[in-house]
Amino acid sequence: MITVNENIMQFQLDTAHTSYVMRVKEGFLEHVYWGRRLASGDHTYMRRELGRASFSPRMENCRGPILDDIPLEYPCFGRGDLRSPALEVINPDGSDIADLRYVSHTVSEGKPALAGLPAFYAEKGDNVSTLCIKLRDRVSMLECDLYYSVFYDYDLITRHAELVNRGENALTLEGAASACVDIDRCDFDIVSNYGTHEKERMIERTPLVHGKMEFASRRGSSGHEHNPFIILASRSADEFKGEVYALTLVYSGCHSMSAEGGQYDSCRVLAGINPDGFRWRLGPGETFVTPEAALVHTEDGLGGMSHIFHRAINDRLIRGKYRNSRRPVLLNSWEAVYFRFDEEKLMDIGSCAADLGMEMLVIDDGWFGRRDDDHSSLGDWYINRSKLPNGFDNIHKMLHEKGCGLGIWFEPEMISPDSDLYRAHPDWCLHVAGRPRSEGRHQLMLDLSRPDVCDYIYESVASLLRTGNVDYIKWDFNRNVAEVGSALLPPEKQGEVLHRYYLGLYSVLERLHNDFPDVLFESCSGGGGRYDCGILYYMPQTWTSDNSDAIERLKIQYGTSLIYPLSSMTGHVSASPNHQTGHVTPFDTRFNVALTGSFGYELDPTKLTDEEKRFVTETAAIYKKYGDTLVNGDYYRLRSSYTEDCAAWCVVARDKSVCIAVYVNTHVRVYPRNEHLAIRGLDENARYRDTRSGAEYSGSQLAGYGVPVDKNHEYSSEMWIFEKI
Ligand code: DGJ
């Protein structure tokens, strides 16, 4: 709901539980308030002017505003706001000043799409409306349209900016954030994710300092290192209560998410494309659209924040056939056979998987070109007939007869120097003439800023999908950037390459999404190196990590769940000892942990014992029965292996009729305490039956004391499925 009071030039955006308020004063768009829901009214008294000038410049001969002390919605460099700017411009005269002042505004129902970019969407009948505020620099004639879409029922606000050059000469954008929020306090903890390959999205919680804390990627993707979100939590906020502000970016490229504690104990939060390496030449009449940022405020702690993001991502970001529904139980061949397979082996493991109740065989890598290891063939997307003489025909036929689908791995954005494609098109990769081309995993990145390259990628994937033999694609991306340059762009546009790369990638993915609506896409980047809301718009799930060890996954999945719903996290039961760590873990623990997500196996099923096979069949049935609850339910982090010798969580159906809870013991002690696990999110006035043991409990017993837990075995785990009676 959006209320504009034109008498006082105040804009009030209301969701079910929050309000976000701005006003215009002396032409500047000021931030007034963001927090718990306000009744409509005049809130401008909240913007007290304290006249703090320090050494900061003051406009209009010291009678005007002190920009350095005003909370601004889209601050610019050059006129006296000396904090980090949202907008940095080089004007045609070489100056770097921007001075954006209010021009007009419009309010509309629903939400417009962002040209060429992924974004949250509204459906017919949704309580969603959009405010657009136009600002203009009257000297350069650069216009800035700030968009705010209010998803009332989801407690979510999305923002982005569109910059239009109305002047007569080209100017250059050196930074254009998606959102800025100036908050008038800085006594927060910053909660962020850090990580690397096989150790993604570790949680770190640190007090915000006076100074800038930035979580960024210059990797050519959102990256393993810092996920594109920033959370500001009140010092006392925990999982279940306390004030939390969070911003995430709907973008897969280089990002910068920062919080800056200021001289007057306020805080500026910026979210957007990373300005390092970004320069966008904006010709007369041209528009630059920033990616979208999604903003959440809650008083229900980090768990409450996650519930908001999870519901919004599940319902209004993910699209297509698999939105809100469980994904097929799959067998991925990577850790089962790596590059060592032929048709007979695939038929064996595929047929065994189908007999055990699995629903998809994914041939991961090695099926194309001359690919027997990772040194060659990326780009040569034709089937290797010496391994698969009948192509996918026989495998697909056998699987379909058993009610199972076929998936294949692709890495379409890459090119191996040892490939027919590279020999034919050596200029199709990102490179800078006259400089060496650095390889990562023996491969270069294709230049997706080029339309011809995008067409090639589309056609490579589409031609295989058109055969009707492929039901699923795992889309991988296995290196970060160096020597970014495009052979097609002139020197003054080379700073645009990485963003154009993502516009190209998104255009390919959009075409595939529209042309092959029944195909399930999974994204991957050495596991979870490109796990973001941008990619989830096109592919509803991401391979969470190449680390498939159930115990290591506890922290990875816990960190990932801060923003991303279980439906988007792929979890596989892999072999024991685990291939990455050597941990020996019971089968049921591997299953219980993998079930926290879109579920499958990553082992050779023909090598399982009879008992394990029985377990696989039974558990596949559990996933099929409760998969929709796991996808759409509210996820509660109950115990954290970051701070305790255990991990526990539960997923509760939105109508509270079912709850799946898991406890994993990560450490055995000589005299274990009397451990019990309290469950959150249930109807405390109802009664529940544990469908596995038959025990009955009241909702209040489960919430108050919970269920007793066995602490006697290392890496043991328990799962309970409570159904309302
Ligand atoms: C990296 C992925 O993360 C793995 O799961 C696997 O697909 C390999 N690539 C295949 O090369």
The CA 541 to ligand 1 mean position distance, Å, reads 15
Share of the chain above pLDDT 90, in %: 95
pLDDT at position 710 is 86
Active-site residue, selected from the candidate residues 471, 546, 549, 634: 546
Active-site residue, selected from the candidate residues 476, 532, 604, 690: 476
Give 488-553 as a DSSP string. Answer: SS-GGGGGGHHHHHHHHHHHHHHHHHHH-TT-EEEE-BTBBTT-SHHHHTT-SEEE-BS---HHHH
Beta-carbon contacts of residue 599 (< 8 Å; ≥ 6 apart): 327, 329, 570, 571, 572, 623, 627
Q: Which atom of ligand 1 is nearest to the CA of 525?
A: 3
Token look-up 């306000």 returns 38
The H or E element containing residue 24 is: strand 18-25
What is the DSSP-derived secondary structure letter of residue 204? E
Q: Nearest-CA neighbor of 552 among 530, 579, 531, 523? A: 579
Q: Which two tokens stand for residue 610?
A: 């009879």
CB of residue 478 inside a 6 A radius of ligand 1 = yes
Encode pLDDT of 477-511 as tens digits: 999 999 999 999 999 999 999 999 999 999 999 99
The CA 527 to ligand 1 mean position distance, Å, reads 7
The full set of domains in the chain, from first to last, is 2-316 (2.70.98.60), 330-625 (3.20.20.70), 638-724 (2.60.40.1180)
Q: Nearest-CA neighbor of 279 among 72, 485, 531, 49? A: 485
For atom 9 of ligand 1, the residue with the nearest CA is 526
Encode pLDDT of 565-596 as tens digits: 999 999 999 999 999 999 999 999 999 999 98
CB of residue 332 inside a 6 A radius of ligand 1 = no
For atom 2 of ligand 1, the residue with the nearest CA is 526
Q: Is the dihedral of CA 587, 590, 595, 598 positive or negative?
A: negative
The CA 448 to ligand 1 mean position distance, Å, reads 21
For atom 10 of ligand 1, the residue with the nearest CA is 365
Distance from CA of residue 406 to its chain's centroid? 26
Please count the other Cβ atoms lying within 10 Å of the Cβ belonging to residue 41.
12
Q: Is the entire prediction scored with pTM above 0.95?
A: yes
For atom 3 of ligand 1, the residue with the nearest CA is 526
Token look-up 């050519």 returns 220
Q: Cα-flanking dihedrals φ and ψ of residue 676, to 5°?
A: -145, 155
pLDDT at position 51 is 79
In this predicted structure, the answer to whether residue 326 has a pLDDT above a threshold of 80 is yes
CB of residue 600 inside a 6 A radius of ligand 1 = no
Pocket test for ligand 1, best of 332, 371, 414, 476 (most atoms within 8 A of CB): 476
Please count the other Cβ atoms lying within 10 Å of the Cβ belonging to residue 96.
14
CB 183 within 8 A of CB 222: no
Share of the chain above pLDDT 70, in %: 100
CB 527 within 8 A of CB 543: yes
Encode pLDDT of 372-422 as tens digits: 999 999 999 999 999 999 999 999 999 999 999 999 999 999 999 999 999
CB of residue 182 inside a 6 A radius of ligand 1 = no
CB of residue 522 inside a 6 A radius of ligand 1 = no
Token look-up 């991306």 returns 477
What does DSSP say about strands 229-234 and 211-216: parallel, antiparallel, or unpaired?
unpaired
CB of residue 527 inside a 6 A radius of ligand 1 = yes
CB of residue 379 inside a 6 A radius of ligand 1 = no
Q: Cα-flanking dihedrals φ and ψ of residue 348, to 5°?
A: -60, -55
CB of residue 365 inside a 6 A radius of ligand 1 = yes
pLDDT at position 596 is 81
Give 293-359 as a DSSP string. Answer: EEEEEESBHHHHHHHHHHHHHHHHTS-STTTTSPPPPEEESHHHHTT---HHHHHHHHHHHHHTT--
pLDDT at position 59 is 85
In this predicted structure, the answer to whether residue 54 has a pLDDT above a threshold of 80 is no
Encode pLDDT of 623-673 as tens digits: 999 999 999 999 999 999 999 999 999 999 999 999 999 999 999 888 778
pLDDT at position 669 is 82
User: Confidence band (pLDDT; 50, 70, 90) for 238?
Assistant: very high
CB of residue 476 inside a 6 A radius of ligand 1 = yes
Taking the C-alpha atoms of residue 407 and residue 75, their distance in angstroms, rounded to an integer, is 47
Report how far apart the first and last C-alpha atoms of the chain are (Å, whole number): 38
The CA 61 to ligand 1 mean position distance, Å, reads 62
Asked if 546 is an active-site residue, the reply is: yes
In this predicted structure, the answer to whether residue 597 has a pLDDT above a threshold of 80 is no
CB of residue 526 inside a 6 A radius of ligand 1 = yes
pLDDT at position 62 is 80
Beta-carbon contacts of residue 466 (< 8 Å; ≥ 6 apart): none
Q: Which atom of ligand 1 is nearest to the CA of 334?
A: 6
Please count the other Cβ atoms lying within 10 Å of the Cβ belonging to residue 492.
11
pLDDT at position 406 is 98
The CA 173 to ligand 1 mean position distance, Å, reads 37
The CA 545 to ligand 1 mean position distance, Å, reads 10
Would you put residue 177 in left (φ > 0), alpha (ψ -120 to 50) or beta?
beta
Mean pLDDT confidence for 349-355: 98
Q: Nearest-CA neighbor of 232 among 182, 187, 177? A: 187
pLDDT at position 519 is 98
Burial 444-461 (b: 16+ CB within 10 A, else e): bbbbbbbeebbebbbebb
Q: Which two tokens stand for residue 72?
A: 């601004």
Q: Cα-flanking dihedrals φ and ψ of residue 134, to 5°?
A: -95, 130
The CA 18 to ligand 1 mean position distance, Å, reads 42
The H or E element containing residue 664 is: strand 658-665
Beta-carbon contacts of residue 692 (< 8 Å; ≥ 6 apart): 719, 720, 721
Q: Which two tokens stand for residue 410?
A: 């692709």
More confident residue, 20 or 711: 20
What is the DSSP-derived secondary structure letter of residue 113? P
pLDDT at position 670 is 83
CB of residue 368 inside a 6 A radius of ligand 1 = no
Token look-up 């390959």 returns 197
Q: Which two tokens stand for residue 450?
A: 């080029």
The CA 198 to ligand 1 mean position distance, Å, reads 11
Encode pLDDT of 171-213 as tens digits: 999 999 999 999 999 999 999 999 999 999 999 999 999 999 9
pLDDT at position 57 is 87
Q: Which atom of ligand 1 is nearest to the CA of 527?
A: 3
The CA 444 to ligand 1 mean position distance, Å, reads 16
Residue type, 620: A
Supply the mean pLDDT for the chain.
97
Encode pLDDT of 114-154 as tens digits: 999 999 999 999 999 999 999 999 999 999 999 999 999 99
Q: How far is CA 695 from CA 348, 461, 721, in A?
A: 41, 51, 11
CB 271 within 8 A of CB 249: yes
Range in 93-97, 248-252, 489-493, 710-714 the model is least confident about: 710-714
Taking the C-alpha atoms of residue 513 and residue 133, their distance in angstroms, rounded to an integer, is 32
CB of residue 200 inside a 6 A radius of ligand 1 = no
